[in-house]
Amino acid sequence: MINPMIGMPQGAEWLVILAIVVLVFGAAKLPELARSSGQALRIFKTETKDLRDGDKADKKATPEQREIETRNEATSATTDPTTGEVVHERRDDTTA
């Protein structure tokens, strides 16, 4: 039977890992490193939750976001009915 805890660091290994981290980053940088890691994790969790919720995120849009969306919809590609030429083309900063 395979032990599920095989390969996981035990007490002494954690002390060695902590010593290496302190040597690499320095003791003064550790709180800042932990804080930025926490913020990155919080942002990641928020974004993945928003992706899972999908349509619910649209309902939570701020008035500024709704205004930008309506402005973008209004500036989508329109054609002149007499000539068939594109009067205004929407640009989305993607490469074709």
pLDDT band for position 80 (cuts 50, 70, 90): low
The better pLDDT of the pair 36, 76 is held by 36
Round to the nearest angstrom and report the end-to-end CA distance of the chain: 55
- Mean pLDDT, the chain, integer: 75
Tens digit of pLDDT for each residue in 39-60? 999 999 988 888 888 755 455 6
Residue 28 has pLDDT above 60, yes or no: yes
Annotate 40-61 with b (16+ C-beta within 10 A) or e (fewer): eeeeeeeeeeeeeeeeeeeeee
**Does the reported pTM lie above 0.85?**
no
